[in-house]
């Protein structure tokens, strides 16, 4: 079970890193509304660009800590709690604009992963 948790932890962390570094300016099936970039997505949610930058510079270190937590276990719980809180916000934003449920799947998966990791 511990191996499965570690694999899921790495997948969650790398998924966040992918979304906030490599795919920031690319369309994905998961973007809110009809957005084709992270900037447009935050605008769709009615959030200011400075907030997008704050989220970015919070999520990236937390995702790195989540991955590092496989080898440095004491960083896992705080990283999971912080990232989980941000993912709860992401799911809430999708619901707020009445996105189809499928668009919330990545954020909900990472939220569930973070809750599981924080509870262990």
Whole-structure pTM value: 0.92
Distances (CA, A) of 68 to 15, 43, 74: 14, 32, 10
Q: Each residue of 28-44: pLDDT tens digit?
A: 999 999 999 999 999 99
Q: Each residue of 29-84: pLDDT tens digit?
A: 999 999 999 999 999 999 999 999 999 999 999 999 999 999 999 999 999 999 99
Dist CA 68 CA 13 (whole Å): 9
> Domain limits at 72?
2-26+35-119
The answer to whether 107 and 20 are in contact (CB under 8 A) is no
Dist CA 10 CA 117 (whole Å): 11
- How many domains in the chain? 1
């Amino acid at each position: 079970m511990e191996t499965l948790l570690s694999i899921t932890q790495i997948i969650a962390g790398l998924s966040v890193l992918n979304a906030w570094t490599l795919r920031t300016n690319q369309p994905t099936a998961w973007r809110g509304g009809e957005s084709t970039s992270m900037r447009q997505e935050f605008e769709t949610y009615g959030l200011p660009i400075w907030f997008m930058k704050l989220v970015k510079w919070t999520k990236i270190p937390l995702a790195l800590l989540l991955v590092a937590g496989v080898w440095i276990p004491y960083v896992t719980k705080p990283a999971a709690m912080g990232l989980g809180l941000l993912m709860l916000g992401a799911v809430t934003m999708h619901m707020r604009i009445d996105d189809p449920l499928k668009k919330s799947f990545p954020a909900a998966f990472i939220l569930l992963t973070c809750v599981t990791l924080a509870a262990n």
